[in-house]
Structure 1
Amino acid sequence: MSVKARRKPIVSPPTAAGRFTGRVYGVLVASVVVAGLAGGALGYLVGSPSATDTAIADLHKADVVRDTQQVEELTGLAKSTAVELDKVLAELALAVPEAETTAPKPAVPEIVRGWQDAVRKVADKHAESPSGMTATNVARGGFRSAVSALAGALDTYAAVLGLPEDRRASLVGLVARQRSTAVAMWSVAATQLDQLNVDVGKGHQHAYLTSGHSDGAISVDQVPEGTE
């Protein structure tokens, strides 16, 4: 009995269309993989801050800390020196009354020199001018200018005392106007400082003068200190 040999199946070679389809599929898979990797890298780069962004953020944080500290220091200085100036203004009001209907009580030169010394010491305390944000610099300059204006008023009054009494009246009026200017300038700076404290989260802080008020001065608000 003869055994019939089994023939091996004939495998047809891939057609040109099949080879093309395979290559296209491979290219598509590779493209998807590359795109995924590129997208992930791009997302990381976009989501992560650059060295420049980090440096800018650090500078901003440092500025905030500096500005807050300067506002606190200026507030303490303004409040303490306002107390010192109020003492001088209260005594000056006796020699140069705020109301024209009140009779003046001229001060002696020794008393006036004491006022001048007190204001000079306050001026020295406000002489320092560290660099800070513009709003703080403006408030600081306002306080310094107000003290300078008050010192000028006292110098004028000291000169008035050296004149005959019949020539003093008009110049005493000049002293009153100089004092009013000084108090008004201080009130503007105090208002600026009040807002600065609110801006840095410290709430309202009042460093206003309580003596020598004139029509040109800004009055303290009625908001309790520490509230925003």
Structure 2
Amino acid sequence: MPSKTARSARLLPPRETPRPSRSRYAIGLVAAILVAGSLGYLFGAPDATENSVAEMRAAEMKRDATQVTELTSAARATVAELAVVMTGLGEALPPGGALAARTPTDAEVGEWQRVMKQAVDKHSVTPSGTTATNVARAGFRSAVDGMAIAVDTYAYCRKLPDDVRAGCLDVARRQRTAGVMAWSVAATQLDQINVDAGHGHQHVYLTSTPGEGAMTADSLPEGAN
């Protein structure tokens, strides 16, 4: 019997390692981009929007610092002008609406009105700034308006008969007190925004007379932070 020839074993081709599909590659690429973006966000890498916002804030801070300086100078000039008027009016308007211990002349009262009108005109200019600066500016404007009304009321009271003059003088006195108090509130706000702007404390108070209810300056020296 013829012998069977043994067949040689076939060598199977090696199994190929599966290649990632294009879709899986794309997903991996997107994931890498997202991770890189997240790391950039976590580590504070600013984008164009953040840079723009930062520039706007820096410009606003610079503008506000300038406005604070200008408002402080204007308030100091007004204090020098109004101090004489408010002192004289206070002497002419003693508590209780009584007749004045010192009666000013018509020329003196006319000068008071002129000074107050100038102060009103000066503080009527209200450029827009930050909220804190706008509050201080509006406070000074309200204060000088109130004090100007007090002077005008006093001038009117002088023309009235004696039997009704006392009540009118009391109204003028209360208006003066309200104006002085309003100025003290604005001055306190001005002091704070100067500190915030890096200028240190700036005390621009109209009066420190006790008993009027006005706020007064703190004990810190000028320019101290």
Task: Give the structure-1-normalised TM-score.
Answer: 0.79
Q: Is the 8 A contact 1:109 1:161 kept in 2?
A: no
Residues 1:64 and 2:61 are matched in the alignment:
yes
State the partner residue of 1:54: 51
How far apart in 1 are the matches of 2:110 and 2:134? 31
1:224 aligns with 2:224: no
Find out whether 1:170 has 2:146 as its counterpart: no
8 A Cα contact 2:207 2:216, kept in partner: no
How many Å apart are 1:50 and its aligned residue? 2.2
Number of equivalenced pairs: 210
Please give the residue correspondences for 1:76-87 in structure 2 after superposition, counting only pairs within 5 Å. 76-87=73-84
Distance 1:213 1:121 in 2: 27
SS of the aligned residue for 1:16 comes to: coil
Match of 1:199 among 196, 199, 203: 196
**Farther off after superposition, 62-71 or 103-112:** 103-112
Question: Is the CA contact (8 Å cut-off) linking 2:208 and 2:214 kept in structure 1?
Answer: no
Give the whole-Å Cα distance in 1 for the aligned partners of 2:165 and 2:209: 20
Match of 2:130 in 1: 133
Distance 1:101 1:165 in 2: 11
Contiguous gaps of at least 5 residues in structure 1: 1-12
* Unpaired runs of at least 5, structure 2: 1-10
Q: 1:115 aligns with which of 84, 104, 112?
A: 112
Aligned 8 A contact 1:149 1:179 in 2: yes
CA RMSD in angstroms comes to: 3.0
Contact 2:200 2:224 (8 Å CA) reproduced: yes
Percent identity among equivalent residues?
42
Letter in 1 for 2:71: L
Q: TM-score, normalised by structure 2?
A: 0.80
1:92 to partner: Cα distance: 1.6
User: Are 2:97 and 2:167, in contact at CA under 8 Å, matched by a contact in 1?
Assistant: no
